[in-house]
Amino acid sequence: GEDVEQSLFLSVREGDSSVINCTYTDSSSTYLYWYKQEPGAGLQLLTYIFSNMDMKQDQRLTVLLNKKDKHLSLRIADTQTGDSAIYFCAESMGSGYALNFGKGTSLLVTP
Amino acid sequence: DSGVTQTPKHLITATGQRVTLRCSPRSGDLSVYWYQQSLDQGLQFLIQYYNGEERAKGNILERFSAQQFPDLHSELNLSSLELGDSALYFCASRDRDFYGYTFGSGTRLTVV
């Protein structure tokens, strides 16, 4: 599929907010996802957003979607050391289609 | 436990060999997706099955094949293995009424 781009690294201090950015190029993407991968573990679904929405909030997580710029962001409020992981942005053309992933952003939270 | 079961967790084998990776989707999920995760290529979609039938193909090599059985478990067969096939292989399943995809914990394949 088209490329999904993410910055590779982000380092924040505990208690600060983290913002992880993603750009996608396939304008036909219908659903956009954020997954978290901890060392040695599988992928955990954090949240998803439909392309007809521009924001979704779920506890400490806020997803913003700018469809015009094909830009997706994940904000983690009050970041904790347990949030250190790799975060993947993914797009899907529709229900049942396979996910197209970015290369992941490695988030390091320091005390 | 995500409900998607993958076995084995680790596999070490020699070049030229053939291995089979197994995935059991969450109870009731009809779709299975296979992905390969490597350092250089990231997460690449390989193949999708739905209720026993192949639904979509991604970047799957001809040396690789898969199938989904009547009980909905799936197997990914990798043959004539090369060093570059060393990777984490994930499967995922999807609930028809839910838009998220649930991943297993993966099989780490090392080809020596």
| Confidence (pLDDT) at A73 | 97
Nearest beta carbon to residue B100 from set A45, A97, A102: A45
* Euclidean distance between CA atoms A11 and A63, whole angstroms: 19
| Confidence (pLDDT) at A51 | 86
Residue B100, min C-alpha distance to chain A (Å): 7
Residue B24, min C-alpha distance to chain A (Å): 15
How far apart, in Å, are the Cα atoms of A108 and each of A10, A64, A105, B41?
6, 21, 10, 22
Residues of chain A where predicted confidence (pLDDT) is lower than 70: 1-2
| Confidence (pLDDT) at B108 | 97
Both structure tokens of A28 = 């036909």
Q: Measured between beta carbons, which residues in chain B are less than 8 angstroms from residue A35?
A: 103
| Confidence (pLDDT) at B95 | 77
| Confidence (pLDDT) at A2 | 61
Residue A69, min C-alpha distance to chain B (Å): 23
A1: closest chain B residue by CA: B58
| Confidence (pLDDT) at B43 | 94
Provide the residue-wise pLDDT of chain B in tens; the chain has 112 residues: 789 999 999 999 999 999 999 999 999 899 999 999 998 888 999 999 999 999 999 989 999 999 999 999 999 999 999 999 999 999 999 877 777 899 999 999 999 9
* Other Cβ atoms within 10 Å of B51 Cβ, number: 11
- State the best of B23, B54, B103 to mutate against chain A, taking most chain A CBs within 10 Å: B103
Which residues numbered 35-74 in B keep a CB inside 8 Å of some CB on A? 35, 42-43, 45, 48, 50, 55-56, 58
pLDDT cut 70: percent of chain A above it? 98
